Amino acid sequence: FFSNANPLYAVNNLVGAGAAQEWMPPTRLVIVELGGGLGSGAAALLEGLRREGRWPEIDEYRFTELVPAFLRRGQHALQARFPDASFLKFGALDMNLPFEKQGVAPRSASLVYAVNTLHVARDLHFTLREIFEVLAPGGRLVVSECIRTTPAQAIYVEFIFNLMETFRSPVLHPTYRPNGGFLTPEQWWGAMDAAGFVEIAVLPDIAAMRARFPDFNVGAVGATRPATRT
């Protein structure tokens, strides 16, 4: 299922990769991917960066995944596909624990990237603040997610995902995290704003589209750590 050979899932990776390329900071690139799974999201992003000629600008791509079996398979897949990518690094990272204690230094990343990951953060505000801290000033967060067009909307993949406690039972917030599962554009905006991010955007603009396309549920959310100290 979690493969670029599956068009139902590949769209998440392609939307995320396209948004990351559009919003990428114009600097040397240190990229941290959260919840990389089997590597299909990283593959889509790296292919896009290579096509754009930004491959030489990548100092490090840190692929992280909490599940050991997924981490091994993701590492094998990416090393086989990109044998010349000496910048690839691999390791475990739990987004529900402090990042610095897991070896990710504050202000070290120019981009934090995640595909279908942050909606299962136990405490979304905590995880967003950890991401904020590891980004350099001016660095970008880009997440590709299934996005509800309205708070009450059901999305087909929830039939399976609702079996996961992490999906159903996060720490709640009355405004931006009133329930488990996927978030609306407004909830993502509220969560990122509360964590200190600026320049928050959704690509495509699902809020503007939903009257005509109420079942379009794939989008990327981007935000910036301000260049000034926060």
pLDDT at res. 159: 59
Of residues 199, 90, 70, 206, the one with CA closest to residue 135: 199
| pLDDT given for residue 154 in this prediction | 79
pLDDT for residue 228: 78
Residue 229 lies in a domain: no
- What whole-number percentage of the chain has pLDDT above 70? 90
Q: Is 200 domain-assigned?
A: yes
Give the pLDDT score at 153: 84
133 within some domain = yes
* pLDDT tens string 146-166: 999 988 887 767 756 655 666
Q: Does the pLDDT value for residue 100 go beyond 90? A: yes
Q: Where are the beta strands (DSSP E) in the chain?
A: 29-34, 58-64, 88-91, 109-115, 135-146, 198-203, 218-224
Q: Inform me whether the pLDDT recorded for 183 exceeds 80.
A: yes
Task: Flag whether 217 is in a domain.
Answer: yes
Q: What end-to-end distance do the CA atoms of the chain give, in Å? A: 40
Q: Which residues lie across from 53 on neighbouring strands?
A: none
Rounded Cα distance between 33 and 47, Å, is 15
Taking phi over 0 as left and psi of -120 to 50 as alpha, with beta for the rest, 51 belongs to: alpha
pTM of the entire predicted model: 0.93
**Listed residue (193, 191, 142) closest to 170, CA to CA:** 191
Question: Tell me, what CATH number does 126's domain have?
Answer: 3.40.50.150
Give the model confidence (pLDDT) of 7-60 as tens digits. Answer: 566 788 999 999 999 999 889 999 999 999 999 999 999 999 999 999 999 999
Instruction: Say which residue the tokens 């699902």 belong to.
Output: 206
CA angle 122, 127, 130 (to 5 degrees): 150
Q: Is 173 a domain residue?
A: yes
Classify residue 2: in a domain, yes or no.
Answer: no
The reported pLDDT for the residue numbered 5 is: 59
> Which residue range forms the structural domain that includes residue 23?
7-224
Domain assignment of residue 197, yes or no: yes
230 within domain boundaries: no
Percentage of the chain surpassing pLDDT 90? 78
Q: Count structural domains, the chain.
A: 1
Region 217-225: mean pLDDT is 96
| Beta-bridge partners for 140 | 111, 224
